[in-house]
A and B are shown apart, each in its own frame.
Chain A
Amino acid sequence: MQVTEYKPLIVAFCCNWCSYAGADLAGNNRLAYPADVKIIRVPCSCRVNPTFILRAFQRGADGVIICGCHPGDCHYTSGNYYTRRRMALLFSMLDYLGIERERTRVEWVSAAEGAKFAATMNDFVSTVAALGENKRLEDLRCKK
C-alpha cells in the first residue's frame, strides 16, 4: 500500500456519556491514535446538527465522525436513534451530491470501548488520509 503523507484534519463529535468516556478510556489505556483527530464534546450524538458537519468541511476538515452510545444505550433513551436517522439521510444526500462517502461516519462507542475508540479513529484517519484533501465541500476562502 502506498504510504500517504497527507495529514487529514478530522473532527470527532463525541457524546458525553459513552464515546467521550470511551475516548478517555483509550487515553487511560494509552491506546494511540493520530493527533489529527480533534474531539468536540456534545451531550448526546443527537445534538450534532448537520450544519456542524458542513461547517467543519467548509473550514477545512477532511473527515467528520460522530460517536455516540450504542443504540439502546443512549443516556437520554432515544437520542442516538434520532442521530441514526438524521445521519443516514444526510450521508445519503452527501453521497448523492458526489461527496466521498468515506469522509463521514457514525460509530457507536461505549464508555467501555476505549480500544474500539482508538481502532475506529486509526481506521478513519487512514481512510480519510487515503482520500486526500477535501475538495468537494471546501470553501476556497478558508484555504490558507
Chain B
Amino acid sequence: MKKNIYGSSLQVFLTAFTFLIVYLPILVIILISIHGSQYNYDSFKLTFKWYREIINDQQLVDAIIVTLQIAVLATTISTMLGTTFAIGIHSLKKKNRVRMMVLNNVPVVNPDIVTGIMLFIIFRFFRMTFGFPTMLLAHIFFALPFVILSVLPKLKQLDSNLFDAALDLGATKFQAIVRVIIPSIKVGMIAGALIAFTMSIDDFIISYFMKQGEFHNVSTLIYSRLAKRQISSNVFAYNSLVVVLTIGMMILFNSLNQTQKKVRG
C-alpha cells in the first residue's frame, strides 16, 4: 500500500502544533518560576528563590493543603461510592440502565459554571456553611459520574456469573462485592480515581462557588489575588513543581510498564 505522504506530514505538523499550543503556557510558567525578577525581563537571571518562597506564603501553603485534602478525600469517597453505584447500574436492565446513564452524564456535560450555580443554590437552600464541607461535596459530585463511566465498561467485561459464583461458594452479597467484583474491576476503579483526582486538583469554577471567607483552594486563591495584584512568582513555582512531578511520574510508570511487558515476554 502506498503511504499518503502528504496526509501524514500534515498530521505530524498538527501534532507538533498541538503540543506547542498546549505546552506554551507551561513553558512560560516554568520560565517565570526560575527568572529572578517579577518586574524586569531585560536579562535572564536564574534563581530558585521562588521555590523557597512557596513555604513562606502561608495563604498559599494553606490553599495547597486544602486542595490536596479535598482531592484525596473526594477521590477516595467518589471512587468508593461510584463503584457501588456502577455495580447497581450494571445490574439494571438495558432500558433502565440507559436512563440512569443519561442522568449520570448530565453533570459530565453540564458546563462547570451551571453545575457551580446549581450546587450553590441547593447548599444555600439547606443553609449549609460554605467552605470545606460544601467544596468536598461538590468535588465528590462532579467526580462521581466519571468514576461510574470508567468502572462500568469493566463490569460489562466480567463473566456475568462471577457474582453468583461467589454467593454460591458461601459469600454474602457484601463479601462477594468486596472479594470478587472489586478486585476484578480494579483497573477501572484506578482509572476513575485518577480522573477524579485530576479534576479535583484542576477545578476552579465549581470551587469558586463553594468557597467562603479565607477558605481557598489553590485555584480560587490565585483568582482572588488576580483582581488585586500581580501574581507573585512563587505561584508559578508551585505550578511548575506539579507539572514536573506529573511528567516524571508518567515517564516512570511508562518505563515500568515497558520492563514489565518485557519480563513477561
Q: Do A and B share a complex?
A: no
